[in-house]
Amino acid sequence: MVETRETRETRDITEEVRRVVKASGVRDGLCHVMVLHATAAVVVNENDDPNIGVDLVDALERLVPKGGGWLHDRVDGNAHAHIQAAILGPSETVPIDEGDLQLGTWQGIMLVELEGPRRRRLVVRIVEA
C-alpha cells in the first residue's frame, strides 16, 4: 500500500520496488508494477527533480481539465482523473539485470495520484528469465 497525501502528486516508489526485486532472488527477468485503481497510474520518468512530477500532473490537468463537461462527471465528478490515468496507464514493466532494476541514471518508477489523498494498492510481479 502507498498512501498519498495530495489530490494530485507523484511518488517515487523505486526503492520499495527494488526491495521486492532483491528479496525475490531473481537475477535476470522482468518486474511488473501495477496500481489497482482507475484514478492512479504508474510511469517510469525522471526521479532526480521533483518538479518533473509537478509538471506532469499540471500537463495532464491542462489536457484533460476537471469540470470539462465529461459525461462521467454526472456519476461522481472525477472523469478527468479516469481519463488522465488511462492516458498514462496502470503499469510498467522494467527489466531485471544482475538482481537489480535496469533503469537509466535519472529514471525511477513513479506512482501518479490523480484523485487523492488515497491508499493505493500496488502489485509487483517478478518473472525470471
Instruction: Give residues with Cβ within 8 angstroms of 35, minimum separation 6.
Output: 41, 42, 90, 91, 111, 120, 121, 122
Query: What is the radius of gyration, based on Cα positions, of the chain?
Result: 15
Question: pTM score, two decimals?
Answer: 0.96
DSSP secondary structure code for residue 126 in this structure: E
Per-residue pLDDT of the chain (129 residues; tens, 9 = 90+): 999 999 999 999 999 999 999 999 999 999 999 999 999 999 999 999 999 999 999 999 999 999 999 999 999 999 999 999 999 999 999 999 999 999 999 999 999 999 999 999 999 999 999
Residue 85 has a pLDDT of: 98
The residue assigned the cell 500500500 is: 1
Candidate CATH numbers 3.30.420.610, 2.60.120.460, 3.30.930.10, 2.40.100.10; the one for domain 2-128? 2.60.120.460
How many angstroms separate the CA atoms of 7 and 31, rounded?
A: 28
User: For residues 9 and 116, is the Cβ–Cβ distance under 8 A?
Assistant: yes
